[in-house]
Amino acid sequence: MIKLFRNIRKNLIAEGKTTKYFKYAIGEIVLVVIGILIALSINNWNEGRKDKNRMITNIHSIREDIELDLLDYRNINTILNKQIKAGRDIITIMESENHFIADSLKFILDFNAMTSTTTLIETNNTWDFLNSSGIISEFPDLKLKKNASGL
């Protein structure tokens, strides 16, 4: 195709038809500009698609962090309920008149459960990364940004 355009240009110059050559040159410039605009448009579309995919990945990652936190909350809730039951069992023994311990192993396990401390560690890895890198400002949903900023 380039060879064809080169031959046309050489023929026009050789025949002395400068006005036709200028028209041809302007046409060629227009074609190049149109090609560049099409390439830029495709590139912008592709970058937008990549940004959208990154955003979806980040949202899924935040969701996974929240699910891990929810699992931790449920585990801690189970532990706390066991501590409440153990505390009630210990109080029952301590409030009795003879302080009789029927099952010493259960009493020791209950006492151990009462003295242990549960620690909640929130999973904020994705949120911290998005916040420190400035990606959070690109989130399209203002409500999500507002809710997430409370983390």
- Provide the residue range defining the domain that includes 97: 2-148
Length of the chain: 151
Q: Is the pLDDT of residue 18 over 60?
A: yes
Distances in whole angstroms, Cα of residue 120 to Cα of each of 63, 73, 74: 18, 8, 11
Residues 83-141 have pLDDT tens digits of 888 888 888 888 888 877 788 888 888 888 878 777 777 777 777 787 777 777 777 66
- Reference 52, options 142, 140, 114; nearest CA is 140
pTM of the model: 0.60
Residues 20-56 have pLDDT tens digits of 767 777 888 999 999 999 999 999 999 999 988 988 8
pLDDT of residue 42: 96
Q: Is 22 exposed, middle or buried (0-12, 13-18, 19+ CB in 10 A)?
A: exposed
State how many domains the chain has. 1
